[in-house]
């Protein structure tokens, strides 16, 4: 049987979270969470493998208690087991620390894991770093931004388009792949499936102690970067404001900037009565 681990993340549903000017922090409490879209495609990729061969799918996430929701959604889609890594000590982890902790959980919970899938990037931070760093932690071969994967025996074949090059790569399992947004349109979790996963399924919760993590090990192998401050980008221009009915606004805009636009597009848009 093929053991597949899919690492997923809960992200805010909106891209712009309200910002508390007083405390200088994000009002994360106001954001409803959802499964990161690329992570969902990684779950779908795992499910498609399972449709073809005997496989077991474990979904893992690290986050606050509420992140359990995305695990339940993955279970409702068809995953077999959900693991939540949750501990206050892990709050604010950068990608270096996150990949370390995920690797510890995978080593503990899925020692015979054959394939690790991640979303290529998340919609909230978009660093795309956790997957590749997790591959380093697990010392497995890896490919990022994968559009399509086939597995035959122990051999994994992936296709991807990177920097205008189309590549087909092969590597032996265990291996790690991050899934892009190009294919693996995720299936819907049925209402009945969701209901069952929320009512009946167990989620294993691992804290730092269970994972054998201490303040010292997290200091040694934890976050390398520190956010010194977060600030709002200063708006740079903000010159001319045009208001009013659309037809009038268009006229005002074109009359004012017709020379500039004409020069750039190489055609005249200057009003006939003005030439």
Partner 1 sequence: MKKKQKSIWVFGDYRNYYQNRVTLQLISKAVDLARVIAAEVCAVVVGHDIEEWIMEYTAHGADRILAIDHPSLTSYSTEHYLALMERLAGERDPDIILIGATDFGREFAPRLAKRLKTGLSADCVGLDITSEGLLKQIAPSFGGNMLAEIVTEKHRPQMATVRPGTFREIPHNYERTAIVERLPLPVNLPASRVRVVEYERAAQKGHTIENATVIVCGGRGMGNKKNFKKLDELARLLGGDVGATRPVVYAGWAEHDALVGQAGKHIKPKILFSFGISGAIQHTAGLGEADFIVAINKNPQATMMKMADVAIAADASDLLNNLIKELKKRIRD
Touching partner 1, residues 93-112 (CB under 8 A): 94-96, 99
Q: Could you tell me which of 217, 228, 9, 181 has the C-alpha nearest to residue 104?
A: 217
Q: Which residue, 165 or 188, has its beta carbon nearer to partner 1?
A: 165
SS3 53: coil
- Please state the φ and ψ torsions of residue 94, each to the nearest 5 degrees: -85, -175
Which is closer to partner 1, CB of 132 or CB of 193?
Answer: 132
Q: Is 267 in the site for partner 1 (CB under 8 A)?
A: yes
Minimum distance, C-beta of residue 108 to partner 1, in the bound complex (Å): 20
157 binds partner 1 (CB under 8 A): yes
Q: Kindly state whether residue 217 participates in binding partner 1, applying the rule CB under 8 A.
A: no
Report how far residue 253's alpha carbon sits from residue 240's, in angstroms, rounded to the nearest whole number. Answer: 10
Asked if 193 interacts with partner 1 (CB under 8 A), we say no
Whether 78 and 194 have beta carbons less than 8 Å apart is answered as no
Footprint of partner 1 on 18-47 (CB under 8 A):
19, 26, 37
Question: Contact with partner 1 (CB under 8 A): which of 116, 128, 151, 189?
Answer: 128
Closest to partner 1 by CB, 89 or 169:
169
Give the count of alpha carbons within 13 A of 45, CB side only.
Answer: 34
State the number of binding residues for partner 1 (CB under 8 A). 87
- Our measurement of the distance from residue 160's CA atom to the centroid of its chain's CA atoms, rounded to an integer in Å, reads 18
**Nearest distance, CB of residue 125 and partner 1, angstroms:** 5
Please confirm whether the linkage preceding 174 is cis (ω < 30° from 0): yes
């Amino acid at each position: 049987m093929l053991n597949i681990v899919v690492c997923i993340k809960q992200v805010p549903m909106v891209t712009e979270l309200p910002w508390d000017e007083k405390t200088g922090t994000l009002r994360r409490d106001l954001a409803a969470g959802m499964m990161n879209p690329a992570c969902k495609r990684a779950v779908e990729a795992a499910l498609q493998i399972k449709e073809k061969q005997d496989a077991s799918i474990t979904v893992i996430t690290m986050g606050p208690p509420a992140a359990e929701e995305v695990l339940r959604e993955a279970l409702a889609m068809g995953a077999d087991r959900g693991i939540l890594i949750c501990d206050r000590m892990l709050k604010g982890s950068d990608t270096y620390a996150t990949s370390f902790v995920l690797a510890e959980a995978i080593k503990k919970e899925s020692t015979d894991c054959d394939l690790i899938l991640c979303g290529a990037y998340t919609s909230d931070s978009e660093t795309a770093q956790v997957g590749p760093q997790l591959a380093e932690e697990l010392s497995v071969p890896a490919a990022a931004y994968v559009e399509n994967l086939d597995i035959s025996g122990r051999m994994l074949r992936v296709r991807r388009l990177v920097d205008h090059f189309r590549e087909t790569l092969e590597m032996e399992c265990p291996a790690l792949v991050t899934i892009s947004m190009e294919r693996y349109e995720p299936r819907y979790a049925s209402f009945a499936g969701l209901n069952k996963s929320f009512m009946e399924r167990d989620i294993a919760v691992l804290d730092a102690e269970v994972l054998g993590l201490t303040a010292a090990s997290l200091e040694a192998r934890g976050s390398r970067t520190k956010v010194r401050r977060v600030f709002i980008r200063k708006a740079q221009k903000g010159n001319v404001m045009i208001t009013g009915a659309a037809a009038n606004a268009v006229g005002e805009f074109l009359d004012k900037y017709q020379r500039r636009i004409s020069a750039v597009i190489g055609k005249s848009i200057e009003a006939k009565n003005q030439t």
